[in-house]
Each structure stands twice: as structure tokens, then as C-alpha cells.
């Protein structure tokens, strides 16, 4: 029998809640192809995890800008200060996916506690979530900056359990990146995987299957609510 849903839902932010495809016009202008956004984002995640494995740390925003310059160099393009500022502005003002607010409303009304955990460093007010109109749903937000390690390092997830003084099993990480749910499950949390376009399951030995899998946030809410104790 499937286990019941953990009472505390911890949401990844970038791409899970906020729509990173709104960065595509910048990448189309710089590289002539909006799909180069995915190349940049993959490099950003790769080098964030590299930093953690090497025991090093720099904030996600600076790493993102460095990754943009690295990708530009491989494509024979130049990034100027205006391009850097546009990346910062677009990342700070990404809208929520259309399915997010309705799903969060239902989950909140069903009695779940809602929090966020992001690779991004803390920002001033208004936050990206507030600008996207969904900040009101979350009782707290956590950043990997507090532990100076990027997801999926176990410390990033366990800081949330420690701060709330609950066991990790009381938490369910919601993310559209499988590497994130794998990290959460390895740390003792539940994992809820929103596939969205561009994300899929990876099947291989020892890879934990997410406790919940859905193509969008509303269908995930159906599953989470149905299995709420």
C-alpha cells in the first residue's frame, strides 16, 4: 500500500514554481536559439553540484552569470554588462506557471504546510515569489546559502527538518528535477516529481522512484490530497 503524504510540502522554486522559459528571449537574442536556455541551465546545475562535491561555494546568481559567459565563449559570443543585468532582471521576475496558484490553494486548504527550498540566495523584498503572486502561500522559505552547499547535498534538505524540529520523513520535496527528488529521498524525505516538459524519469539500479509522479501541479495536488492521512 502506498505511504500517506507527508504533512509538510517543500517546493523547489526555479522551473518547479516559476517559469524559466520566460528567459528564452534573452537566449534567442544572444545565441539565435531560445533552446540554448537549456544548455545554460544544465551547465549551471552541473557546476553548482561540482562546487559542492569539491567543498567550494559561491552564490547561485554569480554562478549563473559565470555559466552564461562560459556558454557564450563556446559559441563565440560576447556578454556585456547589459546582458548580465537582463539575466538578473529576468530571473528576479519570472512568473509562476499557470497551474501553480490553483494547486497551492487546494493544498493549503487541505491542511498541508507549504515551504520552499531553493538553490538561489536569499533576496530582498519583494521576493521573486511575491512578484509572481504566490509568496502568500508559503509559511517560510529556505535557501542552500545557509549551509553553503547546493542541492542535492543532504544538508540542504535536512536544514529544513532541523529548523522545523520534525523528522525528515515529515517532509515531501516537490520538484520538477529528478536529481532533486533523488537527493531528498536519499536524505529521508518523500519525493514528488512534476515532470513538466523537458523532464522525465531515469530508470537505473538504485535510483529511488518518486513517491508521487504527475505531469503538472494540479494533478500532483490530486495525488497528494488523496493520500493525505
Q: Are residues 194 and 148 in the same domain?
A: yes
Q: Are residues 25 and 15 in the same domain?
A: no
CA–CA separation, 193 and 8 (whole Å): 15
User: Which of 92, 110, 145 corresponds to the end of one domain?
Assistant: 92
pLDDT at residue number 197 = 85
Please check the confidence at residue 3 and state whether its pLDDT lies above 90: no
pLDDT at residue number 2 = 79
CB 140 within 8 A of CB 115: yes
pLDDT at residue number 62 = 95
Q: Which domain holds residue 131?
A: 8-19+95-226
Q: Are residues 168 and 179 in the same domain?
A: yes
Q: Are residues 62 and 153 in the same domain?
A: no
Q: Are residues 122 and 204 in the same domain?
A: yes
Q: Are residues 135 and 197 in the same domain?
A: yes
User: Which of 33, 60, 92 corresponds to the end of one domain?
Assistant: 92
User: Which of 92, 109, 141 corresponds to the end of one domain?
Assistant: 92
Confidence of residue 158 (pLDDT cuts 50, 70, 90): very high
Confidence of residue 132 (pLDDT cuts 50, 70, 90): very high
Sign of the CA dihedral running 89, 91, 93, 94: positive
pLDDT at residue number 198 = 83
CA–CA separation, 74 and 72 (whole Å): 5
Higher pLDDT, 124 or 131: 131
- Report the predicted TM-score, pTM, of the whole model to 2 decimal places: 0.95
Give the mean model confidence (pLDDT) for residues 23-47: 95
Q: Are residues 107 and 171 in the same domain?
A: yes
pLDDT averaged over every residue in the chain: 95
Q: Are residues 52 and 155 in the same domain?
A: no
CATH of residue 72: 1.10.150.240
**Predicted confidence (pLDDT) per residue in 38-95, tens digit:** 999 999 999 999 999 999 999 999 999 999 999 999 999 999 999 999 999 999 999 9
| Residue 3 within any structural domain of the chain | no
Please check the confidence at residue 1 and state whether its pLDDT lies above 80: no
Q: Are residues 14 and 107 in the same domain?
A: yes
Q: Are residues 14 and 46 in the same domain?
A: no
**Predicted confidence (pLDDT) per residue in 162-200, tens digit:** 999 999 999 999 999 999 999 999 999 999 999 998 889
Q: Are residues 79 and 15 in the same domain?
A: no
Q: Are residues 15 and 25 in the same domain?
A: no
pLDDT at residue number 172 = 98
pLDDT at residue number 137 = 97
| Residue 144 within any structural domain of the chain | yes
pLDDT at residue number 124 = 78
Q: Domain count for the chain, please give it.
A: 2
HSE at residue 78, side-chain half, CA atoms within 13 A, is 3
Q: What letter would DSSP give residue 97?
A: P
CATH of residue 158: 3.40.50.1000
pLDDT at residue number 192 = 98
| Residue 204 within any structural domain of the chain | yes
Amino acid at each position: 500500500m502506498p505511504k500517506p503524504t507527508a504533512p509538510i510540502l517543500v517546493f523547489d522554486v526555479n522551473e518547479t514554481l516559476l517559469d524559466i522559459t520566460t528567459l528564452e528571449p534573452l537566449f534567442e537574442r544572444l545565441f539565435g536559439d531560445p533552446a540554448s536556455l537549456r544548455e545554460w541551465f544544465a551547465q549551471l546545475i552541473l557546476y553548482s553540484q561540482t562546487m559542492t562535491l569539491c567543498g567550494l561555494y559561491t552564490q547561485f546568481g554569480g554562478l549563473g552569470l559565470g555559466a552564461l559567459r562560459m556558454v557564450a565563449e563556446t559559441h563565440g559570443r560576447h556578454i556585456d554588462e547589459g546582458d548580465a543585468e537582463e539575466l538578473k532582471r529576468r530571473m528576479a521576475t519570472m512568473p509562476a506557471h499557470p497551474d501553480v496558484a490553483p494547486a497551492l490553494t487546494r493544498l493549503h486548504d487541505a491542511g498541508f504546510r507549504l515551504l520552499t527550498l531553493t538553490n538561489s540566495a536569499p533576496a530582498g523584498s519583494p521576493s521573486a515569489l511575491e512578484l509572481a503572486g504566490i509568496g502568500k502561500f508559503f509559511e517560510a522559505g529556505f535557501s542552500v546559502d545557509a549551509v553553503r552547499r547546493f542541492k542535492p547535498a543532504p544538508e540542504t534538505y535536512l536544514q529544513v527538518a532541523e529548523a522545523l524540529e520534525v523528522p525528515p520523513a515529515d517532509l515531501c520535496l516537490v520538484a520538477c528535477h529528478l536529481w532533486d527528488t533523488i537527493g531528498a529521498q536519499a536524505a529521508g524525505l518523500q519525493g514528488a516529481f512534476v515532470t513538466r516538459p523537458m523532464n522525465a524519469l531515469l530508470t537505473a539500479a538504485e535510483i529511488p522512484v518518486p513517491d508521487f509522479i504527475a505531469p503538472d501541479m494540479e494533478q500532483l495536488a490530486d495525488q497528494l490530497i488523496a493520500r493525505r492521512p
